[in-house]
Amino acid sequence: MAASPWNGGHGLKPSSSGYGSMCGLVGLFLPRHAQPVDADLTAMLRVIAHRGPDGTGTHVSADRRFQGGFTRLAIIDLATSDQPLVEDGGSRVFLGNGEIYNYRELRAELRDKGHVFHTQGDMEVGLKAYVQYGRDFVHRLNGMYGLALYERDAHRLLLVRDRLGIKPLYWARLEGGGILFASEIKSLFTSGLVEPRVDESRLSTWLLHGYVPAPDTLYAGVGKLPPGHWLSVAADGAVTVERYWRPRAAADLPRDAAAAKAHLLGLLEDSVRLQLHSDVPLGILLSGGIDSGLVTALAARHSATPLHTYTVRFAGAPVDESPLARAVAGRYGTRHTQFELGMDDVCAHLPALAWHCDEPLFDASLLPNHLINAVLGRDIRVVLNGSGGDELFAGYGRYFPLAAERRWLALPTALRAALRPLIGAAAPLRAWQLERAELLERDPGAYLADHTTQFPAPLRRRLGRGEAVTAAHSAAFAAFAGPRQSGMLAADLETYLPEDLMLLLDRTTMAASVEGRVPFLDHRLVEAALALPPELRTPGGRQKGLEREMAAELLPAEVLNAPKQGFASPVPAWFAGDLGRLSRRVLTGARSRRRGWFDPAGIDALLADPVGHAFRLYALTMLELTVRTHVEGRFTAPPALEELVDD
For strands 56-60 and 308-314, give the pairing.
unpaired
Please give the DSSP secondary-structure letter assigned to residue 306: P
Beta bridge partners, 56, equal 71
Pick the closest to residue 96 from 116, 119, 125, 67 (CA basis): 125
For the chain, the domains span 12-243, 257-341+365-396+496-560, 400-490, 571-644
For 526-593, list the strands marked E by DSSP.
Answer: none
Is residue 569 classed as helix, strand or coil in its secondary structure? coil
- Phi, then psi, of 372 in degrees rounded to 5: -60, -50
Cα gap 160→232, rounded to integer Å: 9
Phi-psi region of 416 (alpha: psi -120 to 50; beta: other; left: phi over 0): alpha
Q: What is the pLDDT of residue 15?
A: 41
How far, in Å, CA of 310 to CA of 330, rounded?
A: 12
Q: In what order do the strands lie in the sheet with 12-14?
A: 12-14, 85-87, 92-100, 143-151, 156-161, 229-233, 239-243
For the chain, the residue count is 647
Query: How far apart, in whole angstroms, are the C-alpha atoms of residue 490 and residue 496?
Result: 10
CATH of domain 257-341+365-396+496-560: 3.40.50.620
- In this predicted structure, what is the pLDDT of residue 20? 35
Residues 86-101 have pLDDT tens digits of: 998 899 999 999 999 9
> 177 near 35, Cβ under 8 Å?
no
Asked if 394 contacts 543 with a C-beta cutoff of 8 angstroms, the reply is yes
Ramachandran category for residue 155: left, alpha or beta (phi over 0 → left; psi -120 to 50 → alpha): left
CA 417 vs. chain centroid, Å, equals 41
Least Cα distance to 471 among 481, 458, 459, 457 occurs for 457
What is the C-alpha separation between 287 and 384, in angstroms, rounded?
Answer: 11
The whole-angstrom separation of Cα 542 and Cα 526 is 20
What are 353-380's pLDDT values in tens digits? Answer: 999 999 999 999 999 999 999 999 999 9
Coil, helix or strand for 69? strand
Over the stretch 451-498, which tens digit does the pLDDT of each residue have?
Answer: 999 999 999 999 999 999 999 999 999 999 999 999 999 999 999 999
CA distance 124 to 133: 14
Burial of 27 (0-12, 13-18, 19+ CB in 10 A): buried
Instruction: Identify the DSSP state of 633.
Output: I
> Among residues of the chain, what percentage have pLDDT more than 90?
85
Chain-centre distance for alpha carbon 93? 26
Global confidence as pTM: 0.94
Phi-psi region of 162 (alpha: psi -120 to 50; beta: other; left: phi over 0): beta
- Per DSSP, 67 falls in state E
Q: Walk along the chain (647 residues) in steps of 10 and give the mean pLDDT of each run.
A: 30 39 86 95 96 88 97 61 86 96 97 94 95 98 98 98 98 96 98 97 98 98 98 98 98 95 98 93 94 98 95 80 94 95 88 98 94 93 96 96 92 92 88 91 96 96 96 98 97 98 97 95 98 97 96 96 76 92 96 96 97 96 98 95 88
Annotated catalytic sites, by residue? Answer: 23
Quote the pLDDT of residue 342. Answer: 81
Angle between helices 503-511 and 346-357 (to 10 degrees): 110
Compute the distance between CA of residue 596 and CA of residue 589 in angstroms, rounded to an integer.
12
| Nearest of 23, 37, 96 to residue 66 by alpha carbon | 37
Which pLDDT score is estimated for 76? 54
Round to whole Å and give the CA distance between 268 and 546. Answer: 14
Q: What CATH code is assigned to 12-243? A: 3.60.20.10
